[in-house]
Structure 1
């Protein structure tokens, strides 16, 4: 059986793969990400996911399935990354406050035996509730925003900010589970629920 490698240190992606019943190892990519801002938002997410995936796949000696993913937040065609400090987190949250935005995750799956690679993306619309500046500052004080694109996490305290979503909830966490399961199938490794393996 091919080994599964997650090319990401994200605890949320690890949690979601575990939720799928998959055994996997974690090998975070250290590739220097190159972001081409001339691309559409989904193309940026896919490009970054591919860079991570291929970086680890080319270093792997055993037959493996390598998963690379990258999640970006988009508001008014502007990409919002991870905030550098409290001020930037506050500016991002004020920009999202009471508004809709998109969360786009690019996912790449590479079979190292022949380097066949599938890359897809998922988009979810998210409405942030209108909150007071005091609430936003209190949220920032939890330190939760600092490792998350758009300065919030839907699965943590940030759930108190999210009024509604349209699309895949798990995509907002950082890994669209259903889409990934379809990609496994396309590579001939459908998930078998009888023994939770592929």
Structure 2
């Protein structure tokens, strides 16, 4: 039967780069799921529900023969795919944050976060269309923020990087300068936990190295 194609239900450049750096070249498929329809005061429930809904939206596209937003030719067989959906939020002092909507909001948020500690939650939903099985798990990483100045906050927000990130910072970008340390999985803060992904694939009966391109095996 072979190894299924790996589909990322997200257009996040950070998540795509993480998978590529780990040797997985996914098919990228936008979920088009309306995140505003899901609310919860529990960060674990929130990110897990959003991750599952995003993955389910893409799974539905593959199961719908008339949906041309996915191309079966890319997978060889549309029933032989695994779909990964993810979502992240930051919780600080009991308050849940997603992406800031305006630069002013980003500045205010950083003024609250600096010198403090936040918990970055990422929900992971992995669907296997072949077996009709799926796994949903959450990973949390504790983030310690530097006590940066107002000038540094304003200059950072001016780059617009915080506006594109859950939690208002990108640790793999300029925001990494303003994080003192992490407790937990560092790739989780970027957008998905690679160790958790490996575990989820194993629970579905796959070895993560099976998703590496053939060229890697030939070079060993």
TM-score range, shorter chain: over 0.9
Match of 2:93 among 54, 76, 83: 76
Moved segments of 4+, more than 3 Å: none
Q: CA deviation at 1:123?
A: 0.2
Match of 1:162 among 172, 179, 185: 179
Q: Please identify the structure whose Cα radius of gyration is greater.
A: 2
What is the aligned partner in structure 2 of residue 14 from structure 1? 16
In the aligned structure 2, how far is the partner of 1:29 from the partner of 1:41? Answer: 21
Bigger fraction of residues in helix? 2
Superposed displacement of residue 143, structure 1: 1.1
Matches within 5 A, 1:1-198: 1-33=3-35, 34-38=37-41, 40-61=42-63, 62=78, 63-192=80-209, 196=212
What's the CA shift for 1:197?
5.3
Is there any run of 5+ residues in structure 2 with no aligned partner, and where?
Answer: 64-77, 215-220
Instruction: Name the count of aligned residue pairs.
Output: 196
Q: Whole-Å Cα distance in 2 between the matches of residues 25 and 80 of structure 1?
A: 29
Q: How far apart, in 1, do the equivalents of 2:187 and 2:23 lie?
A: 15
Q: How far 1:196 moved relative to its partner?
A: 2.2
After TM superposition, the score normalised by the length of structure 1 is 0.95
User: How far apart, in 1, do the equivalents of 2:165 and 2:39 lie?
Assistant: 20
More divergent stretch after superposition (104-113 vs 19-28): 19-28
TM-score w.r.t. length of structure 2: 0.85
